[in-house]
Amino acid sequence: MAADYDAPRVNEDEAGVDTLVLERTGLHAPTIRDDSDGGLADIDSESWDNRDAEIIVIPLQATEFVCTGCFLMVSRLQLSPDHSHGTLCNDCAA
Ligand SMILES: [Zn+2]
């Protein structure tokens, strides 16, 4: 027998948690999984309600630089002494 996916669900327990979260939040996000215990990560409704929260961007500090290899912002303590290939972090220069 073919499943009618448009029919309203009688029992919410039969629907997957992923489906319930997406239905309640109106999002079409990929499944968020917590690999630590193999179960679903805790998704409380407050965190989803704050998804439009303001993001504070801190500009590049004098003690930081952007690696031209991995494009990560890292501390100047990780600046490679070899500048022949640009401004690289120690990981990229290795
Ligand atoms: Zn790098």
Show the tokens assigned to 24. 């309640």
Neighbours of ion ligand 1 (CB under 5 A): 67, 69-70, 89, 92
Show the tokens assigned to 84. 């022949």
Calculate how far, in angstroms, residue 67's C-alpha sits from the geometric centre of ligand 1: 5
* pTM (2 d.p.): 0.42
Cα–Cα distance, 49 to 19 (Å, whole number)? 17
What string of pLDDT tens digits covers the 94 residues of the chain? 677 878 776 655 555 656 655 566 566 555 555 556 655 556 555 555 666 678 899 999 999 999 999 999 999 999 999 888 889 999 999 8
Residue 24, helix vs strand vs coil: helix
